[in-house]
Amino acid sequence: MLEVRGLTAGYGPVVVLRGIDLTVGTGEIVAMIGPNGAGKTTTLNAVAGMLPRGGDVLLDGEPLASAAEQVVRRGVALVPQGRKVFPRMSVEENLFMGAYPRGGTWRDFDRRAEPIFSIFPRLAERRAQIAGSLSGGEQQMLVIGRALLSEPKVVMIDELSLGLAPLMVETLLDTIVRFNRELGTACLLVEQAATAALEIAGSAYLLRRGEVVYHGPASRLRQDVDVLHGAYFGTATGTAAAAGRR
């Protein structure tokens, strides 16, 4: 459904992505992992239209525009790193902004938000609270819920677990599985700490220095520590022994 071919991007003269190929199928959960600086966040931002990009990005076979506000209207939502809630708006108002690209109004808000509140009952409890005063986990729920309100086909989540307690990460992963199942929304999950994401993903991509160095079932990465280590430490086909020597 979402197809990325030969994606390049960078910041000014600095090239970060050197031709990424990536596919997220309908209703699929895909993990993208890699060490710090591998280009994961850049990939998401480039797809979402927050950065100038080269290469092809297709959604359902149609090219995806390069402006952020058009990307979200086509159904590709990004949950950016760092839990970017609107801090001076309430939970409810944050969610309203999620429905904004779909032409949401307060009149139809309850109808649109109902499935989200059922996935995130804590957001329903705190709907009038100012978003800036939520806990980190709640804020993460809020930004995911907000992205879902734009009725995306694919939601891309950047660093879901960063800075959150393991228990909260578990809860969030559960909700991802849940909306994936209930709403059929595909999910591209980007993580540095790989293990959590690999638990729920079907397939996985491994990025290093702006290139895909591995693509295969997530289960294989989960089981074969060598591949993972190879990606992180620079020996693409490294072995446990090699990793150990380091």
Partner 1 sequence: MSKLLQTVIIGTVTGSLYSLLALGMVLVYRTTGVLNIAHGGIGVMAGFVAWDLVQLRHWPYYAGLLVGVSFAVLVGLAFERFVVRRLPNAGSRTVATLGLFLLAQGVVFVVPWWSNNSAQVFPSPFTGRVVSIPGADFAVSYDQIVLVGTVVLLFLGLQFLLRRTRLGMAMRAVSDDPAASRLMGVREELVAPVVWAMAFGIAGLSVMLIAPINLLENTSIVAFTLKALAVTFVGGLVSLPLTVLGATVLALLEAFTQIYAADIRGLPSAWPFILMVAVLVIRLIRPTKALDEQALAAA
Task: Please report whether residue 105 would count as binding partner 1 according to CB under 8 A.
Answer: yes
Task: Please report whether residue 200 would count as binding partner 1 according to CB under 8 A.
Answer: no
Residue in 5, 15, 60, 106 binding partner 1, rule: CB under 8 A = 106
Residue in 88, 166, 167, 241 binding partner 1, rule: CB under 8 A = 88
Give the DSSP H/E element, type plus range, for residue 245. helix 240-245
Task: Please report whether residue 233 would count as binding partner 1 according to CB under 8 A.
Answer: no
Q: What φ, ψ does residue 76 adopt, rounded to 5°? A: -120, 110
Task: Please report whether residue 237 would count as binding partner 1 according to CB under 8 A.
Answer: no
DSSP codes joined into one string, 174-227: HHHHHHHHHH--EEEEEESSHHHHHHH-SEEEEEETTEEEEEEEHHHHHH-HHH
- Please, are residues 102 and 95 in contact by the beta-carbon 8 Å criterion? no
Task: Please report whether residue 144 would count as binding partner 1 according to CB under 8 A.
Answer: no
Residue in 30, 47, 96, 212 binding partner 1, rule: CB under 8 A = 96
Task: Please report whether residue 152 would count as binding partner 1 according to CB under 8 A.
Answer: no
**Residues 78, 44: Cα–Cα separation, whole Å:** 7
Pull the structure tokens for residue 154. Answer: 């694919």
Nearer to partner 1, 43 or 203 (CB): 43
- Please, are residues 42 and 55 in contact by the beta-carbon 8 Å criterion? no
Span interacting with partner 1, options 82-90, 162-170, 197-205, 208-216, rule CB under 8 A: 82-90
Span interacting with partner 1, options 53-61, 74-82, 205-213, 231-239, rule CB under 8 A: 74-82
Task: Please report whether residue 150 would count as binding partner 1 according to CB under 8 A.
Answer: yes
Residue in 17, 47, 57, 72 binding partner 1, rule: CB under 8 A = 72
Residue in 78, 116, 157, 160 binding partner 1, rule: CB under 8 A = 78
**Residues 87, 142: Cα–Cα separation, whole Å:** 11
For the sheet with 14-24, list strands across it.
Answer: 14-24, 2-11, 53-59, 62-63
Site for partner 1 in 46-65 (CB under 8 A): 48, 50
Give the DSSP H/E element, type plus range, for residue 62. strand 62-63
Distance in Å, CB of 143 to partner 1, minimum: 8
**Residues 242, 198: Cα–Cα separation, whole Å:** 23
Residue in 7, 16, 22, 77 binding partner 1, rule: CB under 8 A = 77
Nearer to partner 1, 37 or 80 (CB): 80
Site for partner 1 in 159-188 (CB under 8 A): none
Query: Who contacts 97 (Cβ-Cβ below 8 Å, separation ≥6)?
Result: 86, 89, 146
Residues that bind partner 1 (CB under 8 A): 48, 50, 68-69, 72-73, 77-78, 80, 84-89, 93, 96-98, 100-101, 104-106, 128, 130, 132-133, 146, 150
